């Protein structure tokens, strides 16, 4: 790199997954956290890491299962949003899921997953639901095998963290709060690169490019109205509400489902 750009000072390389881990941890409310970085592809094809993070020692990679989970969504198969939507129906193609598990257990390169999806595309909702189901199984298995002693919460970053169903699923085995940062994908890598070298002196505010959510001005245009907590309580009593979520203001339209 020095030969190419002739930098005036030392150039330090920060591992791509460490960038994700630093951004997820240092934007979280936790002092001690388990951090998952699950990406389509990272440093030298690396795709999956487990980290421990603590204010006393920073971020430490403790395990690298390196399953190519992210490639199931980004290697040319069905659009990720269509996979999530199909999973909501609940019906899974178990034969296709078994092939995916066998693939993830043996694959060492993204290309192997891409080749499989090209030769065996998920053309039905049941097959798409199988992709989501298998991805959740592998991510949650990393939680189940992790040492959660003294851990306050779990954070997840990388492209797969954009998957709302996975972000929800990882809370179940750990019974711990889960933090998905405002921009879990590569859009935030520059923050993680800086914090991976020098942690911030204080927890930063969420990165956000739009108007604040509580602002009343955009509400009429969106045919919305300010939140009425009494109405929320009444809705919860009916049993028809799916959930009530809160969290940092996100950068894109998909992330409210993360909270």
Secondary structure of residue 59 in the 3-state scheme: strand
Q: Where are the domains of the chain?
A: 14-207
Q: What is the pTM of this model?
A: 0.76
Q: pLDDT per residue over 208-235, tens digit each? A: 544 444 444 555 655 656 667 788 788 7
Q: pLDDT per residue over 81-121, tens digit each? A: 888 888 888 799 999 999 999 999 999 888 899 899 999 99
Query: Quick one: CA dihedral 144, 62, 160, 105, positive or negative?
Result: negative
pLDDT of residue 127: 93
Q: What b/e readout covers 166-197, taking b as 16+ CB neighbours within 10 angstroms?
A: bbbbbeebbebebbbbbbbbbebbebbbbbbe
**Which 8-state DSSP code applies to residue 51?**
E
Residue carrying the six token digits 């193609």: 93
Read off the tokens for 109.
């390169």
Whether 28 has a pLDDT exceeding 60, the answer reads yes
Residue carrying the six token digits 């199984």: 137
Read off the tokens for 66.
């390196």
Kindly state which CATH superfamily the domain 14-207 is placed in: ATPase, nucleotide binding domain (3.30.420.40)
Q: How far apart are CA 135 and CA 197, in angstroms?
A: 31
Which alpha helices (H) appear in the chain, and where do they start and end?
Answer: 2-5, 16-26, 69-74, 80-87, 94-106, 110-119, 125-144, 164-169, 171-174, 189-197, 218-221, 229-238
pLDDT of residue 206: 59
Q: Which of 207, 204, 139, 144 lies closest to 173 in space, CA to CA? A: 144
């Amino acid at each position: 790199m020095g030969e190419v750009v002739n930098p005036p000072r030392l150039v330090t390389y920060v591992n791509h997954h460490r960038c994700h881990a630093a951004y997820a941890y240092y934007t979280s409310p936790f002092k001690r956290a388990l951090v998952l970085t699950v990406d389509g592809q990272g440093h030298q094809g690396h795709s999956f890491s487990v980290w421990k993070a603590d204010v006393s020692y920073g971020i430490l990679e403790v395990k690298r299962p390196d399953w190519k989970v992210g490639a199931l969504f980004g290697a040319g198969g069905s659009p990720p949003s269509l996979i999530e939507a199909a999973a909501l129906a609940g019906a899974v193609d178990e034969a296709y899921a078994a092939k995916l598990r066998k693939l993830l257990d043996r694959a060492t390169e993204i290309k192997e997953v891409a080749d499989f999806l090209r030769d065996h595309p998920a053309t039905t909702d049941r097959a798409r639901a199988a992709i989501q189901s298998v991805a959740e199984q592998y991510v949650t298995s990393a939680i189940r095998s992790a040492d959660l002693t003294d851990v306050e919460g779990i954070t997840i970053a990388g492209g797969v963290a954009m998957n709302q169903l996975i972000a929800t699923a990882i809370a179940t085995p750990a019974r711990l709060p889960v933090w998905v940062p405002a921009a879990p994908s590569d859009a935030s890598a520059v923050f993680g690169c800086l914090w991976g070298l020098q942690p911030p002196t204080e927890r930063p505010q969420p990165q956000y490019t739009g108007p604040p959510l509580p602002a009343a001005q955009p509400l009429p245009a969106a045919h919305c109205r300010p939140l009425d907590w009494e109405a929320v309580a009444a809705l919860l009593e009916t049993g028809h509400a799916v959930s009530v979520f809160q969290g940092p203001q996100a950068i894109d339209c998909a992330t409210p489902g993360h909270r």
